[in-house]
Each structure stands twice: as C-alpha cells, then as structure tokens.
Amino acid sequence: MSRDNDQPESDSGDAASFVGEEEVAEPVTARQNLIAAVVIGAIAVLAMILAARLEIPGRLVAAPGLLPFVVGFSLLLMAVALGVLAVRDGGARNLFDGLGNASDWLRDVERRRTVLLLGIIIAYVVLVDMVPFEWRMPLGVFEFRFSGYELFSTAALTLILWIFWRRPVFPHCLGVSFAMVMALAAVFRYGFRILLPGLG
C-alpha cells in the first residue's frame, strides 16, 4: 500500500474542517473589556439598590432581596476585577477615541446587541420590583406557586437566548429558560425557604 494514500487530504478544497468561533472573531481589546466592566458594574449596583429596597418580612436570610443582592454583589466583584485587568492592559488610554456619533457607533451588530441586552436587564429588574404578583394552585399535599420572578425571569432569559444564540429556535429558548428559572426558584423557595422577588 502506498504511503501517500495514508495521508489525509488536508489541502483538498472538498475537505471539511471545523473552525471555532475564536478563530474567526476579532480579539477582544482591553478598551472593550473596560467598557464592559463599567456597564456590568452599573447593572450590578442598580440590582443591589433595588434589592435592598425590598421589604424584609422576617429574618434576613429569608428576605426576598437577598438572592438578587448576592448576585449583584458577585457581578460587581467580577466587574471590578475585569476593569482592573483592562486598565492594567492599557484600556483606559484613549477610551473615547473613535466612538463618533451615536448612529455610527450603533452600526456595529455587537454594539446594538449590547445596548439591547442592557435594556432587557434594566426592564427586568424594574418589572420584578414594580409589578409583584403571585399565583397559587393547590395540588394535594403540594402547593404550586408562580410569581413575578418566574414570569419576568423566563421572559428576559428567553429574549437573551433568542438574541445571542446562533440559529435560535424560539420554543427551545423558551423551554430552556423556563426549566432553568423554575429549577432555581424551587431550590430557593422549597429548599432554602427563601422568598424570591416579586412576592415569591
């Protein structure tokens, strides 16, 4: 058997090869990381402020704002760490150069997605805080509860997956979001006995 026949035809035009997303996307710059850190930090602070404004009906460990406050604080720590690394890599130099006017800046698809993501998160936090409700359905020895947290979390996560997933299928996005939100709510509501935002 010829040795040439054992070699893969890597140079052939018909040969299929996997190309990872990292190989085709432009590398993230320190400046972009710094801007992302500022945006994430602002969202985290807003979430912590709104969580702290929620009423505490009993013990602090059962407060409905405890979970969003902890999540917001974790995001704030990650934003600070990302910002420090970005500044160390020179992201603060000429930070606002090349931004141009708003229309030029929003021509980039990723920037439009970032602005849309920011809007979704702000709307989600405001709706959970401003439109609280709870629906209960007795099921024998178990009482099923569905609150504003599950509704708005599922809607927000579905939109985020729909925007950022490649070739998204809406029923798949909705199903994944609903399953994740309900599982998280069940853990905190029935496992830890911690109230969730939105009268959860």
Is there a single domain that holds both residue 91 and residue 47?
yes
Q: At 51, list the tokens.
A: 């969580």
19 falls within a domain: no
C-beta separation of 83 from 37 below 8 A:
yes
* Domain-terminating residue out of 51, 68, 97: 97
Predicted pLDDT of residue 127: 86
State the pLDDT at residue 22: 45
Q: Is residue 199 part of a domain?
A: no
Give the pLDDT confidence score for residue 19 in this predicted structure.
Answer: 45
Cα separation, 186 vs 34, in Å, equals: 36
**Are residues 42 and 107 both part of a single domain?**
no
**So what's the pLDDT on residue 179?**
92
pLDDT in the model for residue 80? 92
| Helix or strand run (H / E) with residue 139 | strand 134-139
Same domain, 129 and 173: yes
Which two structure tokens, joined as six digits, stand for 3? 């040795």
pLDDT of residue 77: 92
Q: Which residues contact 83 (CB under 8 A, 6 or more apart)?
A: 33, 34, 37, 38, 41
Domain interval for residue 122: 98-193
Q: Cα dist. 16→22, 39, 65 in Å?
A: 18, 40, 51
Claim to verify: residue 50 and residue 88 sit in the same structural domain: yes
Neighbours of 184 (CB within 10 A): 15
pTM of the model: 0.55
Query: Residue-wise pLDDT tens for the chain (200 aa)?
Result: 444 555 444 444 444 444 444 444 556 677 778 888 888 888 888 888 888 887 777 777 667 777 778 888 998 999 999 889 888 888 777 666 655 555 666 677 777 777 888 888 888 888 887 887 788 888 777 778 888 888 998 999 999 888 877 677 888 889 999 999 998 888 887 777 777 776 65
